[in-house]
């Protein structure tokens, strides 16, 4: 079966042109969505992937109607291929997993997508390392100031119950317990 997927980003846009093209491509069923492509939770896309079965072909009018990044595109294609479902884009003829050349080009672009993701990850990690060397601290800021933490330690040493300290500083018991664990000599 030929299954179409059409998407527009906003409610103000319409799907008429995509419907027309998918009808000309002889799609028997079309899943339509009015959501931004950035939103990964697209119910109609998920329903289409779930409903597609062995031997079906998913057709889209253009790659940007399906995904906003190469990584997302290839994740979707991977899900379809796992179900032995072919994929084809009308505007990008190279994106056709039903042909040998299309499968080859899809594999090449998937490899480039993976390379791109790894390069981004490496650059991000290099940026983190550089920031740490400059003294940038990551993570949440402490709930209590340094002075308050030393006051908590003093109160703990005096035997004040953890719950009473937590109420005094208007924080959770877990916060006081963490301070207790870090202030005790090893």
**49 and 106 in a common domain:** yes
The domain containing residue 165 runs over which residues? 146-183
**87 and 175 in a common domain:** no
**30 and 74 in a common domain:** yes
**150 and 65 in a common domain:** no
**Three-class secondary structure of residue 60 per DSSP:** strand
**73 and 7 in a common domain:** yes
- CATH number, domain containing residue 38: 3.40.50.1390
pLDDT at 38: 65
In the chain, what percentage of residues exceed pLDDT 90? 55
**101 and 19 in a common domain:** yes
Residue 122 forms part of a structural domain: no
Phi-psi bin for 35: left (phi > 0), alpha (psi -120 to 50), beta? beta
Residue 118 forms part of a structural domain: no
Residue 46 forms part of a structural domain: yes
Determine the Cα–Cα distance for residues 89 and 150; give it in Å rounded to an integer: 63
**61 and 102 in a common domain:** yes
- Check: CB of residue 37 under 8 Å from CB of residue 68: yes
Residue 124 forms part of a structural domain: no
pLDDT at 84: 94
| pLDDT one-digit tens code per residue, 57-83 | 999 998 888 887 777 888 888 899 999
* CA 154 to the chain's CA centroid: 45
Residue 42 forms part of a structural domain: yes
The number of beta carbons lying within 10 Å of the beta carbon of residue 104 is 12
pLDDT at 106: 78
Residue 132 forms part of a structural domain: no
The model's pTM is 0.59
Q: How many domains does the chain have?
A: 2
The number of beta carbons lying within 10 Å of the beta carbon of residue 80 is 19
Determine the Cα–Cα distance for residues 153 and 92; give it in Å rounded to an integer: 65
Residue 74 forms part of a structural domain: yes
**13 and 78 in a common domain:** yes
| pLDDT one-digit tens code per residue, 30-67 | 999 987 766 668 899 999 999 999 999 999 998 888 88
Residue 153 forms part of a structural domain: yes
| Active site members | 9
* pLDDT over threshold 80, residue 186: no
Q: Among residues 71, 95, 113, which one ends one of the domains?
A: 113
**174 and 94 in a common domain:** no
């Amino acid at each position: 079966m030929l299954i179409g997927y059409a998407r527009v980003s906003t409610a103000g846009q319409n799907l008429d042109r995509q419907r027309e093209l998918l009808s000309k491509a002889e799609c028997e069923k079309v899943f339509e969505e009015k959501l931004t492509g950035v939103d990964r939770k697209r119910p109609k896309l998920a329903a289409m992937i779930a409903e597609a079965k062995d031997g079906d072909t998913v057709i889209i009018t253009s790659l940007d109607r399906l995904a906003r990044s190469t990584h997302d595109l290839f994740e979707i294609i991977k899900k379809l291929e796992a179900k032995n479902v072919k994929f084809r884009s009308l505007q990008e003829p190279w994106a056709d997993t039903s042909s040998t050349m299309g499968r080859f080009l899809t594999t090449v672009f998937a490899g480039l997508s993976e390379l791109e993701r790894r390069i981004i990850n490496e650059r991000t990690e290099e940026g983190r390392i550089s920031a740490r060397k400059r003294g940038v601290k990551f993570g949440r800021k402490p709930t209590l100031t340094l002075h308050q933490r030393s006051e908590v330690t003093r109160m703990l040493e005096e035997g004040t119950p953890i719950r009473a300290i937590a109420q005094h500083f208007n924080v959770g018991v877990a916060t006081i317990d963490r301070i207790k664990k870090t202030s005790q000599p090893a």
